[in-house]
């Protein structure tokens, strides 16, 4: 009956438990050539970020691979292209083999390949070295580091301090300093606060904490802001994310009265239980150390507030590097050098303000541990800042950004050797683009002789081969762009006047400042891998994720034309769908 009514309706029915899987794969095969064509026709090189991810329980490993490029219409894209399964040891060589297979599938040749933006994992270095040998490019120049991951390491230093160089004392005193810092991490204000917050992990403890929030709200003035009358949950920090600690501290300060009430309740309860145990000569009841401490006093809250203040510039820097934003103004590597210059300046000034403080003479003076942590953070920041010199891409992206074109001339005015070295590497890279054939541009529409005469004065003509260097001409004649400019759209608009330089600039400015898109890719997999569906096949998982991201990017509507579809028999023969476990 359905067949008589509509052949299309019959095809739309899921005939078996494998129908959905087959449809997902059909859609993937239909969209794949469109993605390959988009990469091939891109206005820029194709930059790559990838990261490994393991399912809960560690049974499966995946490699999320994202392509970053400017498409043929001038739009910046951050597009996930593959989610292959990683089997065996996740060595750099094994990962390189997987990445190379994806490059072949998506027809990404060495001529089209741009830069790699990866986190600081050692196996990533091995992966790039292996790919460089196979494809013939410089691993040192093409391997860039994820900005937010680097900032995360600096943030960890600011919070906990680990570098031995950060102890500004004689060698014989450093052991004592290190021991004191280890004690402070556990028993100092931050350690106690984290222990209190992490203890709130059962329904009973959440209910108790909510009770103290309600008591705190009851004591608020009637005309207090509405926000202060809301019940809020504590923010739990993630060990590997320093910014989650900032969020934890900020929420704790916001709920300070409730935190104090909750902590004091447990401290007094244990104090009573301890007294009873001693009176009976019994063993003291088990309890976390903080329940036998003085809790969090007013001075401790001042220290916590000071740490929040010190970490705030790092939080701003992370946000600037990890997302492209709607305008495309941020999130590219052109932001990396200015962000590091800003952070180094802020923290060097702050550390200087602590240098002359004698901590033993003033109880209200900044804590010595904060100065120690600042030194550790600066050591880490300078270490990674110096690594930016390994690739000319950072400098090139910065000076080709229409807003930052003269920034480094001023910021490094007292470092002429830096400028000389960076300019020399930039000119070497620029020479490669100048030697390429000029990009073919669309011919302008001709009007009439009068219009052409007028336009010759209004619209500047492009440079000829005998005129000055395109970069020098651009730097001399074009004004600094306004704040918030979209650098990609800026250079797309200047392709007629600076054909080679615009190609160079678009390649550099399309490099992302982070590999955070890989993490976003993984975060979206949670709904696909709930416990009851964790056995979904790797091929199907990858196809589902790619399908929905490609549809979201505009490569299709989710419908597969009948003429593009292959039969169920062909599908089973090629992919073995009938054997997949999709329970």
SS3 538: helix
User: What string of H, E and C letters represents the secondary structure of 283-324?
Assistant: CCCCCCHHHHCCCCCHHHHHHHHHHHHHHHHHHHHHHHHHCC
> Which residues, other chains included, contact 54 with Cβ-Cβ below 8 Å and sequence gap of 6+?
60, 61, 62
- Positive or negative, the Cα torsion across 40, 445, 75, 332? positive
Residue 327: predicted pLDDT: 45
Residue 170: predicted pLDDT: 42
Residue ranges per structural domain of the chain? 2-145+515-579, 153-385, 391-509
Residue 367: predicted pLDDT: 58
From the list 394, 264, 247, the residue with the least C-alpha distance to 319 is 247
Q: How many CB atoms lie within 10 A of CB 234?
A: 23
What is the arithmetic mean of pLDDT over 325-343? 80
* Contact assessment for residue 488 and residue 296, using Cβ atoms and an 8 Å cutoff: no
What is the arithmetic mean of pLDDT over 248-253? 96
Alpha helices for 57-146 (secondary structure H) = 92-105, 122-135, 139-142
Residue 28: predicted pLDDT: 92
Lowest mean pLDDT across 71-75, 251-255, 355-359, 548-552: 355-359
- Positive or negative, the Cα torsion across 169, 174, 178, 180? negative
Alpha-carbon separation of residue 119 from 116, 125, 158 (angstroms): 10, 10, 20
Mean pLDDT of all residues belonging to the chain: 83
Residue 380: predicted pLDDT: 92
* Contact assessment for residue 34 and residue 71, using Cβ atoms and an 8 Å cutoff: no
Query: What's the CA gap between 321 and 311, in Å, rounded?
Result: 16
pLDDT digits (tens, 9 = 90+) for 379-417: 999 999 999 999 999 999 999 999 999 999 999 999 999
SS3 116: strand
What is the arithmetic mean of pLDDT over 434-438? 81
What is the arithmetic mean of pLDDT over 14-42? 85
| Whether residue 449 has pLDDT greater than 70 | no
Buried-exposed string 244-279: b where 16+ CB fall within 10 A, e elsewhere: bbbbbbbbbeebeebbbbbbeebbeebeeebeeeee
In total, the chain counts a number of residues equal to 583
Residue 570: predicted pLDDT: 57
Question: What are the strands, taking DSSP E only, across 459-535?
Answer: none
Q: How many CB atoms lie within 10 A of CB 357?
A: 14
Residue 56: predicted pLDDT: 72
* Contact assessment for residue 543 and residue 574, using Cβ atoms and an 8 Å cutoff: no
Residue 330: predicted pLDDT: 58
Residue 156: predicted pLDDT: 87
* Contact assessment for residue 378 and residue 372, using Cβ atoms and an 8 Å cutoff: no
pLDDT digits (tens, 9 = 90+) for 197-236: 999 999 999 999 999 999 999 887 777 776 777 899 999 9
pLDDT band at 466 (very low <50, low <70, confident <90, very high): low
For the record, the structure tokens of 215 come out as 């008591």
117 pairs with which residues across the strands? 144
Rounded to the nearest 5 degrees, what angle is found at the Cα of 376, between the Cα atoms of 371 and 378? 95
From the list 300, 420, 433, the residue with the least C-alpha distance to 369 is 300
What is the arithmetic mean of pLDDT over 543-550? 92
66 pairs with which residues across the strands? 49, 80
Residue 110: predicted pLDDT: 96
Lowest mean pLDDT across 160-164, 346-350, 500-504: 160-164
Q: Tell me the pairing of strands 46-54 and 113-118.
A: parallel
For the chain, the helix, strand and coil percentages under 3-state DSSP, each to the nearest 5: 60, 5, 35
User: What string of H, E and C letters represents the secondary structure of 233-268?
Assistant: CCCCCCCCCHHHHHHHHHHHHHCHHHHHHHHHHHHH
Residue 2: predicted pLDDT: 39
Residue 365: predicted pLDDT: 43
Q: Which residue has the higher pLDDT, 238 or 254?
A: 254
Lowest mean pLDDT across 5-19, 60-74, 120-134, 442-456: 5-19
Residue 171: predicted pLDDT: 44
For the record, the structure tokens of 568 come out as 């169920």
What is the arithmetic mean of pLDDT over 315-333? 74
Residue 538: predicted pLDDT: 84
User: Model pTM?
Assistant: 0.83
What is the arithmetic mean of pLDDT over 108-117? 97
Q: How many CB atoms lie within 10 A of CB 239?
A: 8
Q: What percent of the chain has pLDDT over 70?
A: 77
- Long-range contacts from 503-508, C-beta under 8 angstroms, 24+ separation: 503/433, 503/436, 503/439, 504/396, 504/400, 504/429, 504/430, 504/433, 505/400, 506/43, 506/44, 506/70, 507/44, 507/45, 507/114, 507/433, 508/333, 508/334, 508/393, 508/396, 508/397, 508/400
Alpha-carbon separation of residue 230 from 193, 208, 310, 438 (angstroms): 21, 16, 28, 62
- Rg, C-alpha atoms of the chain: 29
Residue 322: predicted pLDDT: 81
Residue 24: predicted pLDDT: 87
Q: Which residue has the higher pLDDT, 522 or 406?
A: 406
Residue 16: predicted pLDDT: 54
Lowest mean pLDDT across 27-31, 161-165, 362-366: 362-366
Q: Tell me the pairing of strands 143-145 and 113-118.
A: parallel
| Whether residue 324 has pLDDT greater than 60 | yes
Residue 61: predicted pLDDT: 85
Lowest mean pLDDT across 33-37, 359-363, 505-509: 359-363
What is the arithmetic mean of pLDDT over 300-305? 94
| Whether residue 354 has pLDDT greater than 90 | no
Q: Which residue has the tokens 């790559």?
A: 48
Q: Which residue has the higher pLDDT, 426 or 332?
A: 426
pLDDT band at 23 (very low <50, low <70, confident <90, very high): confident
| Whether residue 255 has pLDDT greater than 90 | yes
Residue 6: predicted pLDDT: 41
What is the arithmetic mean of pLDDT over 501-524? 91
Which range among 212-216, 326-330, 516-520 has the greatest average pLDDT?
A: 212-216
């Amino acid at each position: 009956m359905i067949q008589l009514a509509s052949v299309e309706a019959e095809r739309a029915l899921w005939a078996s438990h494998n129908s959905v899987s087959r449809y997902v794969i059909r859609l993937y095969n239909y969209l794949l050539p469109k993605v390959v064509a988009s990469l091939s026709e891109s206005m820029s090189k194709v930059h790559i970020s990838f990261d490994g991810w393991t399912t809960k329980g560690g049974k499966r490993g995946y490699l999320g691979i994202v392509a970053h490029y400017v498409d043929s219409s001038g739009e910046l894209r951050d597009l996930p292209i593959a989610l292959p399964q990683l089997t065996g040891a996740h060595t750099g060589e094994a990962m390189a083999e997987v990445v190379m297979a994806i490059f072949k599938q998506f027809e990404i040749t060495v001529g089209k390949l741009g830069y790699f933006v990866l986190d600081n994992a050692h196996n990533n270095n091995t992966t790039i070295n292996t790919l460089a040998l196979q494809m013939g490019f410089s691993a040192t120049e093409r391997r860039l580091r994820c900005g937010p991951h680097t900032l995360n390491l600096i943030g960890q230093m600011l919070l906990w301090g680990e570098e031995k160089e950060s102890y500004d004392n004689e060698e014989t005193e450093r052991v004592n300093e290190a021991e004191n810092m280890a004690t402070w991490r556990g028993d100092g204000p931050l350690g106690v606060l984290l222990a209190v917050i992490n203890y709130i992990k059962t329904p009973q403890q959440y209910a108790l904490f909510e009770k103290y929030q309600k008591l705190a709200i009851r004591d608020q003035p009637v005309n207090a802001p509405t926000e202060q009358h809301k019940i809020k949950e504590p923010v739990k920090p993630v060990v590997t994310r320093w910014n989650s600690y900032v969020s934890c501290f900020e929420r704790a300060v916001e709920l300070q009265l409730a935190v104090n009430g909750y902590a004091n309740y447990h401290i007094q309860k244990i104090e009573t239980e301890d007294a009873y145990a001693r009176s009976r000569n019994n063993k003291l009841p088990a309890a976390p150390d903080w329940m036998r401490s003085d809790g969090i006093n007013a001075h401790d809250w001042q220290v916590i507030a000071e740490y929040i203040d010190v970490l705030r510039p790092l939080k701003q820097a992370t946000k600037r590097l990890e997302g492209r934003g709607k305008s495309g103004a941020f999130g590219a590597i052109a932001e990396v050098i200015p962000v590091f210059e800003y952070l180094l300046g802020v923290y060097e000034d702050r550390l200087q303000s602590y240098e002359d403080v004698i901590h033993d003479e003033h109880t209200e003076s900044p804590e010595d541990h904060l100065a120690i942590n600042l030194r550790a953070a600066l050591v880490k920041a300078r270490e990674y800042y110096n690594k930016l010199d390994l690739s000319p891409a950072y400098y090139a992206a910065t000076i080709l950004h229409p807003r930052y074109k003269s920034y480094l001339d001023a910021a490094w005015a007292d470092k002429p050797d830096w400028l000389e070295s960076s300019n020399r590497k930039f000119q070497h890279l620029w020479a490669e683009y100048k030697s390429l054939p000029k990009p073919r541009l669309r011919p302008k529409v001709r009007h009439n002789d009068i219009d052409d005469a007028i336009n010759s004065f209004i619209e500047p003509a492009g440079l000829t081969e005998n005129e000055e260097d395109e970069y020098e001409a651009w730097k001399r004649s074009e004004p600094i762009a306004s704040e918030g400019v979209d650098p990609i759209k800026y250079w797309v608009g200047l392709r007629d006047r600076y054909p080679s330089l615009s190609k160079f600039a678009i390649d550099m400015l399309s490099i992302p400042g982070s590999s955070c898109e890989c993490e976003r890719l993984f975060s979206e997999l949670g709904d696909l891998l709930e416990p009851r569906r964790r056995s979904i096949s790797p091929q199907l998982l990858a196809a589902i994720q790619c399908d929905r991201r490609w549809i979201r990017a505009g490569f299709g509507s989710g419908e597969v034309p009948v003429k593009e579809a292959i039969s169920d028999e062909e599908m089973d023969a090629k992919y073995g769908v009938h054997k997949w476990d999709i329970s």
